[in-house]
């Protein structure tokens, strides 16, 4: 491959490798540290670039694709605009500076004895050190026509070194080289694909035989390769068939190992013992149900029964309830809390934001009513509580007086303890990592039951892949009497004048005595620096959806700018408009939310702090600015804030994205359906895979490699079935030690730590 710096860094990689591998006292295994095999400098560079530490880590850094050097071509008949490979000798090297711009061009003339071709390199004068006249090699690249002269710009090349010079222009060897697929690795600015390739070749050359994580019968049944062979063929294929078969094997292995980890974890959790929680006759739950002003939906009933059955067991519940925004998950969770209170225990509700925790407290107190609330003494614990309030809350928790505790991350604090924590409810799971769920679980002297609520519908394959340790319940229907939401795209790229109509439409809603949200992707008007987060666009879990970058590089609409603009609009002259965003203190946010709920504010200009759970029945309209900057699921969540009462909701998705762009497609998809599951699937297909998992999982090197949740659903389901069968008969996987190892390796340290605490 091209370049000399990496070869130097690796110290004549290919040659030194085998020696280094066998010299070391211990054989090289998947667990060997990269620095012991590749040396500290290379290992550090790779660790920085890809987060890899061990041989196994780097060997699972698979090629992104395979390139082709193409057929050998004679210099005398080069086709323009095609990829060619030429065996030739360097004739002449010349460096010159560019006329119009700064920088230099290195021109290298090569010849195959019949014709002459020029290679050009921009600002890579150092290449003259290796491309000196008389040197021979193979050159590959795309032929271009520059002012009538054919050339290869920045070709890929491999020079024959002294040893293989014996047969420099051996046609067979040359052809084999030319036809072998070239692995192209995910690379960074500091570590190029071919540097990864060199390092991986060293690993493959020094690696001891890798035992197979798949049980033999399973491998045979599915016609898969041995693990060693698969690793070899995915990184050093001789043909397309090689890497294709290797991918099949490694993809299935990945699914299988992951499912074994999850199924095993589920089994381990089920084996733990906790206190069964059963409601008592005439107790809190009965009193609550008797006073409830509405009938539970059939789905609420079903899910409620599943939960009641779970928490009545000695095995801790570990259940995910997914349901549309407004489907009534909170009531279902509250009923479980009351059953726990009946049995003398406490329940904690973990909310993702202070605003939401505060709102949960108010709505739970209101739902319980003046009869029940004093008995259960719900308390709030957030990070910004005044010291005296905090002390009082902690006391009520540790004494057991408070049967219901609602809080943010502050609940995870060290000074926080409970008298008898029987149930942990995590609201809006996607904002929390596995770690936090586990940290709260540890607050109980014995493991509490765990209930996770999410309004982000999770396609089955993701549920299986990411939440494989949880049982899943679904609330699919909304309570009757919801007026619904109408959504429209406001495409400013095609219809710039509609910008004005948005505010007129908003004014009409206000004139009917209703309230509105205006959502912006940014807080302040400045263009964010690189690496800085835009609140709206990243809150979905840190990863920007693919194609979220708007076509133009215009700054995102900010709360501050728009607020001023709206205040000047004649149509909104009498409206009371206030901001809400993450840079306000929690006291300010809370005050604003209360005022909005009380009808003292007409329009909230906000960031996505309002995304989750905010519940104001009179809010009927929402305008989302730069809607293309938000993810599909996020838009759906946002929209769920309106149309919650008997008032029909209106959602205007304002975008400058061009018709036909991916960004525009996402916005159109949201406007086209209210079905959260359908949108979750769209999201899955339109986003980059890593983002999907990244937004649900707490990141790390635990993301998927070859597996694609959008397309590999069947494979994942099959792998899960195998895993269940195997673990059913052999929970510790003793019969397949390499699988045990692979499962251990699969769970990175933090993930493992939190899972095993379960």
Binding interface with ligand ADP (CB under 6 A): 294-297, 300, 323, 325-331, 455, 479, 615
User: What six digits make up the tokens of 631?
Assistant: 């993810």
Q: In the chain, what is the straight-line distance between the N-terminal and C-terminal CA atoms, in Å?
A: 48
Per the structure block, which two tokens stand in for 280? 């008592």
> 141 or 323: whose CB is closer to ligand ADP?
323
What is the Cα–Cα distance from 258 to 480, expressed in whole angstroms?
Answer: 40
Considering beta carbons, is residue 297 or 634 the nearer one to ligand ADP? 297
Calpha distance 437→412 (Å, rounded):
9
Please identify, using beta-carbon distances, which residue of 425 and 706 lies nearer to ligand ADP: 425
Strand partners, 67: 182
Q: How far is the CB of 294 from ligand ADP (least distance, A)?
A: 4
Bridge partners, 624 (sequence order): 519, 653
Q: What are the helix (H) ranges across 400-527?
A: 434-441, 460-466, 498-511
Q: What does 541 bind: ligand ADP, Mg ion, none (CB cut-off 5 to 8 Å by kind)?
A: none
Cα–Cα dist 150/728, whole Å: 66
Q: How far is the CB of 293 from ligand ADP (least distance, A)?
A: 8
> To the nearest whole angstrom, how small is the minimum distance from the Cβ of residue 478 to ligand ADP?
8
Which residue sits closest to ligand ADP, CB atoms considered?
328
Q: Indicate which of Mg ion, ligand ADP, none lies near residue 348 (CB less than 5 to 8 Å, by partner kind).
A: none
What's the closest the beta carbon of residue 263 comes to ligand ADP, in angstroms? 29
The closest of 299, 298, 374, 376 to 334, measured between CA atoms, is: 376
Q: Which is nearer to ligand ADP, 453 or 667 (CB)?
A: 453
Minimum distance between the CB of residue 473 and ligand ADP, rounded to whole angstroms? 12
Q: How far is CA 538 from CA 544, 545, 550, in A?
A: 6, 9, 14
**Residue 331's binding partner, choosing from ligand ADP, Mg ion, none, with beta-carbon cut-off 5 to 8 A by kind?**
ligand ADP
| 325 binding partner (options ligand ADP, Mg ion, none; Cβ < 5 to 8 Å by kind) | ligand ADP
300 binds, among Mg ion, ligand ADP, none (CB under 5 to 8 A by kind): ligand ADP
What backbone torsions phi and psi does residue 310 show, to the nearest 5 degrees?
-60, -50
Give the Cβ contact number of residue 508 at 10 Å: 13
Question: Considering the complex, what minimum distance in angstroms separates the CB of residue 334 from ligand ADP?
Answer: 8
Nearer to ligand ADP, 429 or 465 (CB): 429
Of the candidates 385, 311, 353, 300, the residue with the CA atom closest to the CA atom of residue 608: 353
Cα angle at 570 between 566 and 575, to 5 degrees?
60
Task: Compute CA distances 18 → 41, 203, 209, 671, whole Å.
Answer: 18, 9, 14, 59
Specify the residue, 297 or 515, whose C-beta has the smaller distance to ligand ADP.
297
Among all residues, whose Cβ is closest to Mg ion? 613
Q: Of the two residues 80 and 291, which places its CB atom closer to ligand ADP in the complex? A: 291
Q: Which is nearer to Mg ion, 422 or 613 (CB)?
A: 613
Q: Which does 359 bind (CB under 5 to 8 A by kind): Mg ion, ligand ADP, none?
A: none
SS3 (DSSP) at 107: strand
């340290």: which residue's tokens? 749
Nearer to ligand ADP (CB atom), residue 250 or residue 622: 622
CB of 575 vs ligand ADP, minimal distance in Å: 25
For residue 431, the surrounding DSSP H or E stretch is none
H/E stretch holding 34 reads helix 34-38
CB of 538 to ligand ADP, least distance (A): 23
Please name the helix (run of DSSP H) or strand (run of DSSP E) that holds residue 233, with its range, or none: helix 227-235
User: 176: closest CA among 163, 164, 192?
Assistant: 164
Residue 557 interface partner, choices Mg ion, ligand ADP, none, CB cut-off 5-8 Å depending on type: none
How far is CA 58 from its chain centroid?
21
Nearer to ligand ADP, 232 or 615 (CB): 615
Nearer to ligand ADP, 575 or 597 (CB): 597
Fill in the DSSP letter of residue 429.
G
Pick 250 or 336: Cβ nearer Mg ion? 336
Residue from 425, 57, 462 nearest 262 by CA:
462
User: Which of Mg ion, ligand ADP, none does 323 bind, CB closer than 5 to 8 A by kind?
Assistant: ligand ADP
Among residues 481 and 570, whose Cβ is nearest to ligand ADP? 481
Q: How far is the CB of 479 from ligand ADP (least distance, A)?
A: 3
CB of 691 to ligand ADP, least distance (A): 24
Cβ closest to Mg ion, residue 330 vs residue 637: 330
Min CB(623)–Mg ion separation in Å: 23
In whole angstroms, the minimum distance from the beta carbon of 651 to ligand ADP comes to: 16
Other CB atoms within a 10 A radius of the CB of residue 167 amount to 11
Instruction: Cite the beta strand spans of 327-470 per DSSP E.
Output: 346-350, 379-381, 404-407, 421-427, 449-454
In the bound complex, what is the minimum distance in angstroms from residue 428's beta carbon to ligand ADP?
A: 9
In whole angstroms, what is the distance from residue 363 CA to residue 615 CA? 9
Residue 671: name its binding partner from Mg ion, ligand ADP, none (Cβ under 5 to 8 Å by kind). none
- Among ligand ADP, Mg ion, none, the one that 327 touches (CB under a kind-dependent 5 to 8 A) is ligand ADP
Q: At its nearest, how many Å lie between ligand ADP and the CB of residue 385?
A: 23
| Residue 365 binds which of ligand ADP, Mg ion, none (CB < 5-8 A, kind-dependent) | none
By the 10 Å C-beta count (0-12 exposed, 13-18 middle, 19+ buried), 259 is classed as buried
Where on the chain is the footprint of Mg ion (CB under 5 A)? 330, 613
Binding site partner of 297, from Mg ion, ligand ADP, none, Cβ cut-off 5-8 A by kind: ligand ADP
CB-facing half-sphere around the CA of 347: CA atoms within 13 A: 27
**CA–CA distance, 486 with 602 (Å, rounded to integer):** 20
Residues 139, 158: Cα–Cα separation, whole Å: 7
Closest CB 367 distance from ligand ADP, rounded Å: 6
Q: CA-CA distance, 47 to 604, in Å (whole number)?
A: 45
Which partner in ligand ADP, Mg ion, none is near 578 (CB below 5 to 8 A by kind)? Answer: none
Minimum CB–partner distance for residue 494 and Mg ion (Å):
36
Q: Which of Mg ion, ligand ADP, none does residue 86 bind to, with CB < 5 to 8 Å depending on kind?
A: none
Q: Which entry of Mg ion, ligand ADP, none binds 21, CB below 5 to 8 A by partner kind?
A: none
Q: Using alpha carbons only, how large is the chain's radius of gyration in Å?
A: 31
Nearer to ligand ADP, 554 or 617 (CB): 617
**What gap in Å lies between CA 562 and CA 275, rounded to an integer?**
53
With CB cut-offs between 5 and 8 Å by kind, which of Mg ion, ligand ADP, none does residue 296 bind?
A: ligand ADP
User: Alpha helix locations (H) across 349-386?
Assistant: 354-376
> What secondary structure letter does DSSP report for 28?
B
**Ordered alpha helix ranges (H), 606-688:** 632-639, 662-672, 676-686
Looking from the CA of 711 toward its CB, the CA atoms found within 13 Å total 9
Query: Nearer to Mg ion by C-beta: 233 or 589?
Result: 589
């Amino acid at each position: 491959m091209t370049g000399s710096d990496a070869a130097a860094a690796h110290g004549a990689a290919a040659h030194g490798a085998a020696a280094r591998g066998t010299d070391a006292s211990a054989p090289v295994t998947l667990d060997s540290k990269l620095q012991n095999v590749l040396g500290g400098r290379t290992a550090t560079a790779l660790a920085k670039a890809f987060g890899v530490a061990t041989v196994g880590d780097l060997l699972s850094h698979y090629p992104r694709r395979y390139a082709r050097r193409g057929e050998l071509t004679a210099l005398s008949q080069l086709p323009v605009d095609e990829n060619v490979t030429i065996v030739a000798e360097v004739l002449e090297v010349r460096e010159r500076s560019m006329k119009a711009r700064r920088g230099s061009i290195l021109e290298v003339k090569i010849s195959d004895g019949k014709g002459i071709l020029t290679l050009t390199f921009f600002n890579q004068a150092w290449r003259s050190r290796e491309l000196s006249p008389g040197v021979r090699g193979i050159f590959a690249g795309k032929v271009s026509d520059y002012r009538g002269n054919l050339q290869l710009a920045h070709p890929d090349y491999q020079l024959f070194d002294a040893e293989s010079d014996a047969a420099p222009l051996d046609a067979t060897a040359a052809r084999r080289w030319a036809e072998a697929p070239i692995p192209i690795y995910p690379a960074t600015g500091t570590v190029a694909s071919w540097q990864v390739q060199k390092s991986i070749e060293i690993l493959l050359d020094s690696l001891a035989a890798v035992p197979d994580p798949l049980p033999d019968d399973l491998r045979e049944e599915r016609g898969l390769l041995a693990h060693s062979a698969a690793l070899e063929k995915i990184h050093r294929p001789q043909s397309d068939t090689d890497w294709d078969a290797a991918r099949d094997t490694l993809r299935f292995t990945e699914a299988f190992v992951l499912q074994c980890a999850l199924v095993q974890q589920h089994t381990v959790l089920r084996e733990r013992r906790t206190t069964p929680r059963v409601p008592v006759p005439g107790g809190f739950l009965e009193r609550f149900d008797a006073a409830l002003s509405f009938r539970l939906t059939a789905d609420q009933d079903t899910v409620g029964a599943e939960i009641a059955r779970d928490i009545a067991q000695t095995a801790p519940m570990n259940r995910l309830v997914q349901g549309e925004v407004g489907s009534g998950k909170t009531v279902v969770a509250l009923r479980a809390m009351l059953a726990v209170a009946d049995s003398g225990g406490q329940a904690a509700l973990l909310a993702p934001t202070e605003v939401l925790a505060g709102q949960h407290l108010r709505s739970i107190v209101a739902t319980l009513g003046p009869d029940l609330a004093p008995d259960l003494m719900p308390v709030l614990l957030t990070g910004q509580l005044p010291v005296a309030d905090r002390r009082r809350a902690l006391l009520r928790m540790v004494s057991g007086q408070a049967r219901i505790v609602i809080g943010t991350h502050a609940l995870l604090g060290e000074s926080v303890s409970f008298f008898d924590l029987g149930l942990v409810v995590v609201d809006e799971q996607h904002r929390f990592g596995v770690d936090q769920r586990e940290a709260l679980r540890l607050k109980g002297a014995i493991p509490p039951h765990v209930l996770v609520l999410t309004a982000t519908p999770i396609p089955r394959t993701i549920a299986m892949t990411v939440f494989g340790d949880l049982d899943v319940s679904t609330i699919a229907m909304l309570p009757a009497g919801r007026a619904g939401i109408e959504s429209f795209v406001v495409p400013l790229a095609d219809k710039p004048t509609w910008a004005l109509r948005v505010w007129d439409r908003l004014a009409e809603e206000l004139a009917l005595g209703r309230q509105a949200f205006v959502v912006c992707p940014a807080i302040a008007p400045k263009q964010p620096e690189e690496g800085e987060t835009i609140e709206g666009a990243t809150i979905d879990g840190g990863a920007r959806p693919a194609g979220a970058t708007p076509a133009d590089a215009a700054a995102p609409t900010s709360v501050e700018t728009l607020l001023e603009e709206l205040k000047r609009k004649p149509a909104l002259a009498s409206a009371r408009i206030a901001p809400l965003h993450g840079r306000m203190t929690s006291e300010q946010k809370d005050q604003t939310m209360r005022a909005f709920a009380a009808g003292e504010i007409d329009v909230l200009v906000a960031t996505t702090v309002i995304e989750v759970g905010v519940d104001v029945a009179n809010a009927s309209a929402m305008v989302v600015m730069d809607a293309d900057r938000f993810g599909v699921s996020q838009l759906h969540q946002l929209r769920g804030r309106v149309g919650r009462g008997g008032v029909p909701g209106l959602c205007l998705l304002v975008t400058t994205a061009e018709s036909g762009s991916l960004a525009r497609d996402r916005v159109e998809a949201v406007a086209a359906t209210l079905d959260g599951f359908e949108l979750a699937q769209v999201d899955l297909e339109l986003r980059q895979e890593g983002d999907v998992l990244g937004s649900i999982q707490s990141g790390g090197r635990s993301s998927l490699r070859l597996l694609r949740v959008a397309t590999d659903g069947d494979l994942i389901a099959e792998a899960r079935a195998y895993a269940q069968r195997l673990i059913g008969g052999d929970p510790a996987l003793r019969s397949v030690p390499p699988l045990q190892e692979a499962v251990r390796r699969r769970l990175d340290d933090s993930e493992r730590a939190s899972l095993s605490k379960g």
